Each structure stands twice: as C-alpha cells, then as structure tokens.
Amino acid sequence: MNTPRKLKGVIAILSLLLASGGAFAYDSAMAVAGSAATTVAIAPSALDESLELPSAAPGEVLRSLPPLKPIDLTLQADDLWQRIRHGFAMPDLVSDLVTDRQAYYLERPEYLIRMVERSRRYLHHIVEELERRGMPTELALLPMVESAFNPMALSSARASGLWQFIPSTGKNYNLSQNWWYDQRRDVVASTNAALDYLQTIYEMHGDWHLALASYNWGEGAVARAIERNRQAGLPTDYKSLSMPTETRYYVPKLQALKNIIAQPHLFGVSLPTIPNQPYFASVTKPAGIDLALAARLADTPLDEFRALNPAFNRPVMPGGGIQSINIPADRVDTFKRNLAGHDEPLSNWTTRRLQRGENLDSLAARLGVTGAKLREVNGIPAGWRVPVGHALLVPASAAARLPMTDADMPASRALASANGERVKVRYSKSGRTTIAKSAHKPRASRSHRAAATRIASRR
C-alpha cells in the first residue's frame, strides 16, 4: 500500500520532534512536511486512538502536538519500555527512509503488536546484558529488524535465530550447530554472541550506524565502501556510503522502531505493557530429558517451553552439549520440586541403528509409528533413503521389543558418546551416502555475514 504524501509529512514532523527534543525551527519542520495541515488517523483498526491534527495554520499544527516530557533517569522503571527508553544512547538518524519505515510499521499495526508480544519473553534478558556491557538499549530492538523476534526464523541465506547468524559467523562465535541442537537459536548463547559481535564491529568503526551496517552487510564490505569514499574525497559516514538496498534500509528500520517506542502516543500507538522483571531463568539441564517431560515438570505449556528453548532440534535434550534450559521465572521452584520427586525415566527415546533387511518405513511399522513421523523426528526428507547402520531416534518402549546391537544406546548418552557432535550422514535418493564427523571445523571469516536477511515468516 502506498503511503499518502500527507501522512508521510506528518510522520516527518514527528521524527524531527523526537530527534530534536521538540526544539527545532518551524521553517525546517515545514520544509520536510510540506504545507499540508489535515486530519490523519493512523491505523485506527488496531490502535487505541488516532492521531488527529486539526485543520489550521501550519504553526497551529506544531503547537497542537503533545509536549515531550523529560525523562527522570534516577527512577527505577516498572515498565520495561521505560527502562529501554532510559538507555537510548545512539545518535538519531533523520532521513526520508526513516519516515518511510515509520509509515510502513504504522500501516501494519497487527504486525507491530505481534512483534512486541513475541519480544516479551526475551527483551528483559537482552536489556540486562546490554546494560551490563554499557551498550545502547536501542540494540534490544534489533531482533525486530532481524527476525521479528521469531527464534525459529530462517532466511534464504540460512541465517537463523533471533539475531540471524549465518552458519559461518555462528561458528566463529562458538555457536554449535549439529543434529541435536542449533545454538544460533539459543536465546542466551546467541544474545551473548550477537553483543560480542556488535561490540567488535563498533570498536572497529567507532560509529554505531556503521557497526549496524556491518552487522547486516559484513564489516569487510563496509570497510571497502569507506575506503572507496575516502579515495574519492567523499564523506565516509553511513548516509554517504554506497550499499545494497537491504543495508540502506537497515538502520532506518531500527530508527523508525526507536521513534515509535520512544513516544508511542505521538503516533497513536498503545504498546502492550511488559513488566521490568525477568521472564525466564536458566537452570541446570538434567542429562537426557524429553522436552515434553521438562515442560510438564515446569507446569508450562509445551509451546511456551519450546519458545524459551528453541535451540533443540529433537524431542529429547541429550546428555552433552547445552548444559542449561530456560524455565519461566515463576516456575523454577515448581520445576526443581517436581524433578526431585520424579522417579521414572527422563526420556522415552533411544537410538537404534537400521539393520540389514530394514528400511525406515518397515522399521516405523514395527515401532507402531508412521514413516512420516519417524522422518520428522530424525530430520530426514521425504523420499530419501537411509543407509544400513544409520542411527535413528526411536520410541524407547517400542524399540525394547526389537533386536538391539551394542551400538544402540539411550538417547541420553548418544550426544556425549560423539564428543559433542553427531556423525552427519548426507542422504541421497539413490541410497549412496557420505559419512563425516561434524567435529571442529576451521572457523569462517567474520566478513561472511549475509547481506540477505529477509525472512519469509516476517510477512
């Protein structure tokens, strides 16, 4: 949907108010906004109230806007949004692209609110980490740009998680990726890695806008763009660089979200309240426990438990690798008490190697499950053949009735037995396979950060 020119003019005035604290020249504001003075309702279907500018002289339009209230930084905020506002420290970017992105978000209030609702699980942890490191809290909004706060988001460039790490950069920052789990989706580990990376590229450039461009495009690409401008005698700031469209819009998206969250009432937006308190706590993970059982012990719906622990690829969390899980903060004591009183096996899964004369579908039938379910659990594409000797994750109770070999073992021991990594098997439709250890590989260059981070699930 094309944004009306008058709406963009109103948004431009609001942007200047936010960037200048309300003290800017009338002539400057009207030069941006044009001479339009009208009544505008922004996304009335999903917002509590519309932003109305009375038909009046241009000077009256500016005077009719609500005054900007000073922020008392000495008060402990009860609302997490207010705490985030207190920590804003990046220079503001004022441009037509910021105005355009503000209009984009305001025309899609359902999308904006959906991002905010997803963020409530993770924001407090991110803000705590940012403050601990002395970093600007605008960065807590970056997952809105990257993944819309969807930890399962996967881009066409194979970037994954809240912070959208591509595989090579994830490995460079010690985010393990194997058959059992992908730490690019781990809330705590990926946040630490993302903030480490952002600190590194900020120290490289000394400028947050250039650091953000590097996060999206790659620090090497930004460094080359800066050098091209320097040799041509051109400015080397973010606005002056030649860059891909995705990166050109990247910082304006973050600035647009910052503007809306800084003064939502100016835009007619009612943000859902997020309490300024931890949403989850990390506890030691029992060795080899099913996700469903852990959720039940925490008295937490399985979907909610998965949202807090999105790194796990399988229905069981094995004995090695990730050593902690995230539990809703008000359920930690419940989880520990229920775990202490649980005297049955922690996992209903085991591994069984495919034996000669078997195929996946025949084994599934003997286990009492469908072939499609067994493929889903093991991450095997439909129509691809599985070689004899390949270890499959299967229901333990059903597998106990079948012949077993010394190589078969409970899932709780499977990951630890492979020194933290599972043997990878590349399937082929012909049945021919390549088998290789996915152990410690050479680290890839940090400059391989993907420029393409558009995610289908954002739409």
Q: Which residues pair with 392 in a beta bridge?
A: 352
Q: How many CB atoms lie within 10 A of CB 69?
A: 9
Who's near 219: CB < 8 A, 6+ residues apart?
201, 204, 205, 446, 447, 449
Nearest to 215 by CA among 134, 138, 133, 115: 138
Question: Would you state the structure tokens that stand for residue 105, as one six-digit string?
Answer: 């978000």
Instruction: Count how many residues are written for the chain.
Output: 459
Single-letter code of the amino acid located at 19: A
Return the active site residues.
Answer: 146
Question: Would you state the structure tokens that stand for residue 12, as one six-digit string?
Answer: 């431009």
